[in-house]
Amino acid sequence: MSKQEINKREFKITEIVENIKASGMDRRTFLIRMAMAGVAASLPLTKCSPGKREGLLPERDPAVLTEQEWNILNVVQGHLFPSEENSPGSKEINAAAYVQWVLSDVLVDPEERDFLKSGLTRLDSAAEDRWGESFLSMLPENQEKLLQYIESLSWGESWLSAMLMYIFEALLSDPIYGANTNEAGWKWLGFTPGEPRPKTIYSDQLTMIKNNEKF
């Protein structure tokens, strides 16, 4: 099996959106229940190329996303996992930067990266078609209605499921990798990470192994 085949995963996961609908919960509550139930180990966490995790940026990388794409991504994630008083949302856990990293990593399946990025454009096109204005120009309540509409479409359900997956990964990942800033997700959930935790980023670990050093 090739490295690409090993790193490829089935990313168009519709079960998340389907399970949210069946539960009757809103998206945020459903993600919280997932986290508190300890199902993180069952999710197919994204594989990365050596040295990429430390490259997560809290701001837009113009080589990966346009300003419009970055803003759409942040607004969508804000709808999917909004900030609330005394609890973090997508902004606090750096979820947009996490997706941006996925889009920049050459070892993530190209089809996955294309699907994630093209979804931003397709969402904006749907806004123009149905509301006659860009997604970013819409009122928040209409943005939510549009997201509910694309949930009814095959591509939209898959795309939103992928976005929810990445928010969940960002919420529970070790802060050394750039998401879950200041352990915001862990502290909020009362989660205690397993030991030993990584003390260095993956690329540094590879260097230390080559030099027969301990980490």
194 vs 63, higher pLDDT = 63
- Res. 22 pLDDT band, cuts 50 70 90: low
CA geometry: angle 109, 111, 114, nearest 5 deg: 115
**What's the confidence (pLDDT) of residue 2?**
36
pLDDT beyond 60 at 100: yes
Highest mean pLDDT (candidates 70-74, 110-114, 168-172, 207-211): 70-74
Q: 3-state DSSP call for residue 43?
A: coil
- pLDDT tens per residue across span 158-193: 999 899 888 888 887 777 766 777 777 778 777 777
The lowest-confidence range among 10-24, 48-62, 168-182 is 10-24
**If we measure between CA atoms, which residue out of 98, 82, 101 comes closest to residue 90?**
82
**What's the confidence (pLDDT) of residue 79?**
94
The two tokens of residue 193 are 């990470």
How far is it, in rounded angstroms, from Cα 22 to Cα 160? 16
pLDDT beyond 90 at 115: yes
Question: What's the chain's Rg over C-alpha atoms?
Answer: 18
Average predicted confidence (pLDDT) for the chain: 75
Q: How far from the centroid of its chain's Cα atoms is residue 210's Cα? A: 32
195 vs 104, higher pLDDT = 104
**If we measure between CA atoms, which residue out of 164, 81, 82, 89 comes closest to residue 119?**
164
| Beta carbons of 29 and 175 less than 8 angstroms apart | no
- Res. 7 pLDDT band, cuts 50 70 90: very low
What mean pLDDT is predicted for residues 206-215? 45
pLDDT beyond 50 at 64: yes
What values do phi and psi take at 62, rounded to 5?
-65, -15
- Type of residue found at 153: L
What values do phi and psi take at 174, rounded to 5?
-70, 135
What mean pLDDT is predicted for residues 140-157? 94
% of the chain exceeding 90 in pLDDT: 30
